[in-house]
Structure 1
Amino acid sequence: MAKTLLIVCLAILLPCCIYSQVYTIKGKVVNADNGAPVAGASVFLSNTSYGTVSNNNGYFELGNIRQGKYDLIVSFIGFETYNNSLTLNASIDNLDIKITEKAKELEGVTVRQYMKNGWEQWGTFFIQSFIGTSALGLQCKLQNPDAVKFSYMKKDGLLYVDAMEPLVIENKALGYTIRYQMESFVYNFNTKALFYAGYPLFTEMEGSKSKQNKWEKARANAYGFSSLRFLRAVYRNHLVQDGYEIFRMDRLPNTEKRLWLAREKNYYDTVSKTRTIKNFAATLAADSVPYYEKIIRQKDPIEVVHPGKVTGDDIAYGADSFTAALDFQQCLIVRIPALMNPQEYVESFRDASSSQPVTSVVTLPNQKPILITSNGYFYEPEDLMLEGFWGWWEKMSAMLPFDYRPKEE
């Protein structure tokens, strides 16, 4: 099949030696309105450790960058954030970046009404959702919590979080200081879905040789659990070699449960008009209670796992010479038999066990393939949904930059 041939060719055309090639990005930051150079602008590649500041003449240089796709970000107080996606397979010498001043009439305008005591009410929830509850998360600290503002829309069940300045996270577990320019953070309490987006810049902490060795070991361990490693394995068509077991899964509506609940809701509404109900089961006929309890325990939707493992050729193909496409229907169960669930995960989920292998569910909610480059960069972020272990693990405390490579790679 064409897909099989393309992914095989991709693996052959892009051998490991391509990772040793490095490139440079040089350019100038100017004011879009008058062409004046902008000094002191922060210039960095999102989710990497490549970052610098423009000099007095607006010039900047980023060097030793590996081949791949990146988001080039330029930010400066009073200007709109500049974002440009670059596929880097050669050096760029004269990049002209024009940044636009924020509209003055919008200064000081609050788009959403922020809560006066938002941090007291939502601070812990935000830290757990954004930084995480793993052992790594316990060693992370948000340095500027006062920059975080909360807005809760009770009617819609939505929590919005905005940052008035880049968030600074000190990750002592992995040895990084992360400067995160948060663009959006929304949690939906109805669907239990979290979406956040932003531009992180990683800076390695300084420390003794023993600390550096400890951090390197911790990074390699975190990498083994990460979706970053999985996406790189997809790109290289190395899923089996890298120890992944993948199965297809369908989610089917539980028609019996939905019909029964709809019928009983009508009954509940009728009864509640005449008296107060504290225990709905007590209002049912005696022979209906066991069936009620059985129905309540059932899952909706019903998850049906297909027999037989999925290979890389079944779900990915070469989109072009530098990009692989991950494309599938329904859901994928991704299992790593060599890794067991950590204790913190087990404590967070009743159905989890420390004797079970790490297992995640991957879906393409918009039914569009995601495109992956060699460094694990993928786009668009909203086209990939992670559940299960990765839904819990993939937080800022476990995040690694795209330029991170374990020694074995």
Structure 2
Amino acid sequence: MTRLALFAVALIAFSCGSNDSENSTPSNVLEDISFSVDTILVNPGEEIINLAWGLRLSDLSPDKRTLYLLDDKDKSVSVVDLEGLKLLRKLFFEIEGPNGIGQYLYAVQLLPDEQFLFSGFQNTGIYSFQGEKLENIKVSAADVEGMNEADESSIWNGLRISSDKKYLFSTPGNFFEGTRDLVRVDFETKKGKAIDIPAMDIASEFRIVLRSDEMMSVYVEEISLQELNGKLIIQNTAGSDAYLYDYTADSLRLLTFDHKLVLKKKEGTVRNEVTSQKEFEDEMGKLSSQISFEKFIWDDVSKRYYRFAKIFQPKVDDKTPRKADVFLFAYDKEFKLIGETQLKDLTSVPAYPFFKDGKLWSYVNVDDELGFAVFTFDF
């Protein structure tokens, strides 16, 4: 199946600045932002790239030249050249056996030396590109200072390995109640400690648990870990506050931002326990109609961090995709807020966004083919 790599070009200029003068100051670098969009397709050759899960189980090379996308059905990894816009090859992994990666995976991390960290509900381990299991990742809560037996089942929530492969990180805690911690474990000794991150406790405040005779559903605000520029960033969708963790110096810094365009966090209360689907959706509506913050994105060209946020508009009906007000924020190298704007021509946040060569790439599915919307910003 041969497809042209360049699917379409749509040079459409948008004016995205806020019209509210009190939200725009001379120091707002996004005040007069505009952008154009190109849509491009990846050529899969004679293969098929399974997009059933979008890019949820994927990772990028540090230079943003290669995408690694796991097919959760056959456990193959598509290696995609983002320079030539083509599928280079597929890497195959076993589900079971001594080299098995397991049936149910929730995260993929690219590691140095052509290795992957596959995190799953059955097992978590490091694997070579050739499909060999190199190390099983398992740490007991008893080996982590500040953890106890009750934390055993959640100790690897959000597991990541530092880029130098010296530390393991996670955010254990009870999804249904309580606080969350940052855990740092030495990769060699498998000994570690828990670090208090109280600014992330807001995520637990907005949990919603549906318990009934027929079903059980859980909603929690997402707490995420990401490494950018050699530092670990801990943040959550319920608020703009974040932690910057220098794991080499073992130094934790709270980042706060004086947003003028949006609230700094979700407000009010929700019922944490409900017994019907209607009650669950009603409580969810209280949260989706408030601000929700995305992860930070680093741009090597502008030397800035960026972050999207969204507020969902009222639901029209069950068939119409729900639209959102989309916001973009800019931060300097020291995480000082230097710009904010509403992108009024967007009704959804770009999916799995990343900067490459000064342009923002966002995943799109074009008739079940892997594509990207490439945003060129003009400041």
The TM-score with structure 2 as length reference comes to 0.25
- Would you tell me which structure has more helix in proportion to its own residues? 1
Q: Which has the larger radius of gyration?
A: 1
Higher relative contact order by CA 8 Å / sep ≥ 6: 1 or 2?
1
- Would you tell me which structure has more strand in proportion to its own residues? 2
The TM-score with structure 1 as length reference comes to 0.23
